[in-house]
Structure 1
Amino acid sequence: MNDDFSRVGGAPVPVLRLGDVLLVTLQGDLYDGAAEQLRQDIVESIARSRVTGVVIDISGVEIVDSFLGRVLAEIAANARLLAAQTVVAGMRPAVALTLVELGLTLPGLRTALSTEVALELLGRTDAATADGPRRERR
């Protein structure tokens, strides 16, 4: 497992490599400059490590504004050009409502309720439990 770090608000944001997937866990709110730096760091990590998937866990983020929504969509678009898929995991209901109210559709982004389900969507079957893969409840 390789670890890279992006500096967001002075604190490092780990960009972890799990096989052919990058896992990024965001904690707290991101401001414009930090979100842009994170975008650049993730895209460079994709190119350098040649992964096929990116999971961005935003369960620790309480506020997503239009800029951060656009940055997430840009990460997905850049990843797609580099032959990787992006899944955003752990979106809070308030964040989803805000994104819809802002009219942001986030093209190219898949979503999952948890990081475990996001890894399953990307074909990481070892993220499943011993009983077999878990399915999202609807």
Structure 2
Amino acid sequence: MYRISIEGRCEEKQFKFVPIDWVELDVWLDFDPFKDLESSQLEILEDQSEQWWQQQLAAAKTSVIPFNSLEFDHVTKQKYQWLETINPESHAVRWVCRHHIMIQRIKNAINDNPDARILCIVDADHNHALYEGLIAQENVQLIYPLK
């Protein structure tokens, strides 16, 4: 529903909308990092996950634009490194593979729209990976974090 709303608004403004995210909902839950854990272990990890979220929220306050800072990205990257230790397969599918696809879709949009300005909007948990994946892209000026 959210995508349809964005697509409609882009169409109204005569902007080209190119979706970049990749999630296959029919298998998404099969790669939940906490899927096969016992309840006692699950409770501990959910508490730790909440602590990571609180650290992310604290880091989000370091910028005029929330969730738009290298500090937030640093904490987020650490959070996902922690998640990888819990379930490497889940991390590979939900984050590593997903980010490769998202980065390639952005590169494709750049190549399909030479000399165009492109606004890429993603959930803040993806910022660090997309920035790292695109920083070396030739003929691209990344403006991130936003000022």
TM bin, normalised by shorter chain, reads 0.3 to 0.5
TM-score, length basis structure 1: 0.37
TM-score, length basis structure 2: 0.35
Larger helix proportion, structure 1 or 2?
2
Larger strand proportion, structure 1 or 2?
1
**Larger relative CO (CA 8 A, sep 6+): 1 or 2?**
2
